[in-house]
Amino acid sequence: MAASFPLLSVLITFITTYLATSASPAAAVAAQYSVTSYGARPDGRTDSTRAFLAAWNKACSSPSPATIYVPAGTFYLKNVAFQGPCKSTSIAFLVDGTLLAPSDYGVIGPVGNWIMFHAVDGVTVSGGTLDGQGKGLWACKASGKSCPQGATTLEFSNSKNIQINGVASLNSQLFHIVINGCQNVKVQGVRVTAAGDSPNTDGIHVQESNGMTILNSRIGTGDDCISIGPGATNLWIEGVSCGPGHGISIGSLGKEFHEAGVQNVTVRTVTFTGTENGVRIKSWGRPSTGFARNVLFQHAVMNNVQNPIVIDQNYCPGEKNCPGQDSGVKVSDVTYQDIHGSSQTEVAVKFTCSKASPCTGIRMEDVKLSYKNKVAGSSCQNADGTASGVVQPGSCL
């Protein structure tokens, strides 16, 4: 009995302290803003852009955590920029419905972005479908007519502490999700779907950003599954399946002379099915201060992939501004570990590195790739490194 008193008083102190700190209404209850309260209509036709902005402005200026709620139904939305900085340090976009872009690419195509967040901190987007309605623009591009470049579906720029959870992105005009100039970003359970021949519809693109994880996502699209641009550091990708599309690519790097490097990238437990590439590092064949270093590709399965493992430092589209030049991008400390499966072409491992700036510290460990049920081939240029464990095709390092 005597012994239980101190315990009880500790418990009471704990409860009263807890109530005192959480009882202030502002701190306890997150403010909720439903877009329908601001005039958004789930009918797929009414322009809900102003309503979304009005809800955003309320949430952004809220002194407490805020939730913007998008109920079930289809909301027609033109290009919209959710601008920070905000007073609220935590804003959740909770989406049950579908956001529908204009089918006429002339509306958002020239703007370059559909849904944009700029200079925000602590924003989470959860659930819902973002339908970019890109088919019209893809057809325009395929016809050779002059068309706008197109709009990225969802972009965060100059932001931090961002989460994107369980969002489905469908038929983007241009890239699906872009992270540019951000810190501490977590993307998980994302589903990207677009035709395998849709142009420039990268699934997730990251650049100039530090500290990002991409987990448990499925990406089928017409361009890169995930593209990693200049200035991406401390990036972790795990549990992603890609296909159709062009695979996971670091690059293109070295387009500019003065360029930030890519470093500390881990790509693990990924599956590629019928993609053009598996894991690729790609740079322009021209001088640059850029680099890619400390990269780990681990536990990858290749199912009938055209080019499972590639480093290509001779990228020179249209043979303009680079013919005859060597890439200045330094590729170093890249490890390929436990990568197996099948290649659609005979040369499953291809390291075409720069003569001016050869690849160093390439490590191959337990790599096993077949072509037509036989051991595939490999080719190396200006690539230095080591092989250990089972490495088939045999290492050319």
Ligand X SMILES: *[C@@H]1O[C@H](CO)[C@@H](O)[C@H](O)[C@H]1NC(C)=O
Report CA-CA distances (Å) from 153 to 168, 172, 344. 11, 6, 32
In the list 233, 273, 304, 379, the residue contacting ligand X (rule: CB under 6 A) is: 233
In the list 264, 325, 335, 381, the residue contacting ligand X (rule: CB under 6 A) is: 264
49 binds ligand X per the rule CB under 6 A = no
306 binds ligand X per the rule CB under 6 A = no
**Positions in 122-141 near ligand X (CB under 6 A):** none
335 binds ligand X per the rule CB under 6 A = no
246 is catalytic: yes
| Active-site choice (118, 246, 258, 299) | 246
Min dist CB 249 to ligand X, Å, is 20
213 binds ligand X per the rule CB under 6 A = no
Provide the 3-class DSSP secondary structure of residue 236: strand
Residue 21 host element (H or E): helix 4-22
In the list 234, 266, 303, 370, the residue contacting ligand X (rule: CB under 6 A) is: 234
How many of the chain's residues bind ligand X (CB under 6 A)?
A: 5
266 binds ligand X per the rule CB under 6 A = no
Report CA-CA distances (Å) from 1 to 7, 10, 15, 227. 10, 15, 21, 65
Cα separation, 350 vs 395, whole angstroms: 10
Pairing, β 80-83 against β 374-375? unpaired
Report CA-CA distances (Å) from 250 to 110, 198, 281. 27, 20, 5
Eight-class DSSP state of 121: B
Measured from the CB atom, the residue of 233 and 360 that comes closer to ligand X is 233
Assigned token pair, 222? 């017409």
Measured from the CB atom, the residue of 182 and 305 that comes closer to ligand X is 182
Measured from the CB atom, the residue of 214 and 232 that comes closer to ligand X is 232
Measured from the CB atom, the residue of 118 and 293 that comes closer to ligand X is 293
C-beta contacts of 36-42 below 8 A and 24+ residues apart: 36/71, 40/70, 40/75, 41/73, 41/75, 42/71, 42/72, 42/73, 42/74, 42/75, 42/97
Report CA-CA distances (Å) from 181 to 17, 153, 156, 230, 261. 40, 17, 8, 11, 14
In the bound complex, which residue of the shown chain has the CB atom lying closest to ligand X? Answer: 264
Count of other CB atoms within 10 angstroms of residue 223 = 23
Min dist CB 264 to ligand X, Å, is 4
Measured from the CB atom, the residue of 332 and 343 that comes closer to ligand X is 332
Min dist CB 85 to ligand X, Å, is 25
Measured from the CB atom, the residue of 149 and 264 that comes closer to ligand X is 264
Name the residues that contact ligand X, by CB under 6 A: 233-234, 263-264, 294
Active site residues: 246
